Chain A
Amino acid sequence: MGEFTLDAVNEMYMDVLREIGNIGAGNATTAIAKMLDMKIDMKVPKVELMDASQLGSAICPEDETIVGIFLEVTNDITGSMMFLLKMDAAHYLVEKLMGMMVSPDGSFSEMELSAMKEIGNIIAGSYLSALSNLTNLTILPSVPYISVDMAAAILSVPAIQFGQYGDNALLIETEFGDDVMIDGYFILMPEQDSYAKILASLGIQM
């Protein structure tokens, strides 16, 4: 079995990765709906393969402040994942969850940050459990880490993770909401041998 890199993915792999993206994002959206006790619609996620060095500007201008939640995963699959939200979306979710207005200057208090972490934790956790169910592999997430900073700085983390293996990165964009639609972004960063495990568990020969 050769080493898997995103530099040599064909259409079938993309379809599988897209499907994983779909199911994961669907699960995550359901989790948010339950948490916020509201009905949530979602659109079909977009899975985009891009040059890792372009990640910094893939979501918004490089110096715009965003929220990034990062988890490490271990066990059958090792690697990490990120969930990213723009500030307005993060504020909206925190307000929904806590039933109060977020500080008008746009910054997060300690309590709001921890609410945001919890939202990220639930979303990322349900994404991973969908992947786990689909592949029959055990995936254990770490505690969530949060960063509220410039998009390019936060996205340098996955860019470097992908950059260790090749030049390409995979970004999954989901859109969900009730009256207001929110964009959320997932980035899965399996270690190289974990890609093979994921694909093999789905019956795909490399």
Chain B
Amino acid sequence: MGTVIKVGMADLKTANAPDILTTLGLGSCIGLTMYDPVTKIGGLVHYMLPDSTKLKNNNNIAKFGDTGIRELLKQVLAAGASQRRLVSKIAGGACMFQVSGTSTVGNVGARNAEAAKEILKELRIPLIAEDTGLNYGRTVELDCSNGDYIIKAVGKTIKVI
């Protein structure tokens, strides 16, 4: 049994098998994983907003999809993963309150998920599974021994993607 390593909000970490990377209670944020099935090196970024270029105050790279995903790639490669073997999974991007209109609260989850897809495409990393949207929070775990992404939600059965 590996160590469980916690990734906070606006945070990213990498780990090797048999460790587990977890983030608790993803809401509208995205928990994006990268995993190399041969070296069994994995990474998880928990970002809050899609795009750092929309803000002046953008020093925290793990807070944004565009900078956070690129930094995660850099770190999993530095840890020994191979870019051509990397695969990605995403979870989160919920809309916690079904507000009417087009406010940030209503659509930031969807925009966050969209950003993941665009950036992964650009980086040529295949997105092989996702569990996004809807209106509930998710606790996620990336099991570095096999790349399973385990998703837990209040009152729902555990899902593995």
Contact = CB atoms under 8 A, between A and B. Distances in A.
A53 B11 CA distance: 9
Contacts of A156: 9, 25-29, 48, 96, 137
Interface in B3-35: 8-11, 24-29
A128 to B, nearest CB: 17
A159 B9 contact: yes
A61 B9 CA distance: 13
Contacts of B25: 56, 62-63, 149-153, 155-156
B137 A154 contact: yes
Contact of B26 (A55, A152, A164, A166): A152
Interface residues of A, number: 38
B89 interface: no
A125 to B, nearest CB: 17
A50 B92 CA distance: 24
Contact of B57 (A70, A153, A165): A165
A152 B8 CA distance: 10
Interface string B30-43: 00000000000000
Interface in B102-161: 103-105, 108, 135-139, 154-155
B48 A149 contact: no
Contact of B48 (A53, A65, A165): A53
Contacts of A54: 9
B97 A149 contact: no
B97 to A, nearest CB: 4
A149 B105 contact: no
Given A5-B57, A154-B96, A155-B27, A149 B137 contact: yes
B78 to A, nearest CB: 23
The A contact surface, by secondary structure, is mixed
Contacts of A134: none
A166 B103 CA distance: 18
Contact of A157 (B8, B28, B49, B57): B28
Contact of B24 (A55, A72, A152): A152
Interface string A95-129: 00000000000010000000000000000000000
Contacts of B55: 164-165
A68 B8 contact: no
Q: Which of A147, A153, A157 has the most CB of B within 10 A?
A: A153
B57 A167 contact: yes
Contacts of A107: 155
A149 B24 contact: no
Given A63-B25, A149-B137, A160-B49, 18 more contacts: A53-B11, A62-B24, A70-B105, A72-B103, A72-B105, A145-B98, A146-B97, A150-B24, A150-B154, A152-B24, A153-B96, A153-B138, A154-B96, A156-B25, A156-B48, A159-B9, A163-B48, A165-B55
Interface of B: 8-11, 24-29, 48-49, 55, 57, 60, 63, 94, 96-99, 103-105, 108, 135-139, 154-155
Interface of A: 5, 7, 52-56, 61-63, 65, 68, 70, 72, 80, 107, 142, 145-157, 159-161, 163-167
8 contacts: A52-B10, A53-B10, A149-B154, A152-B137, A157-B28, A163-B10, A163-B48, A164-B55
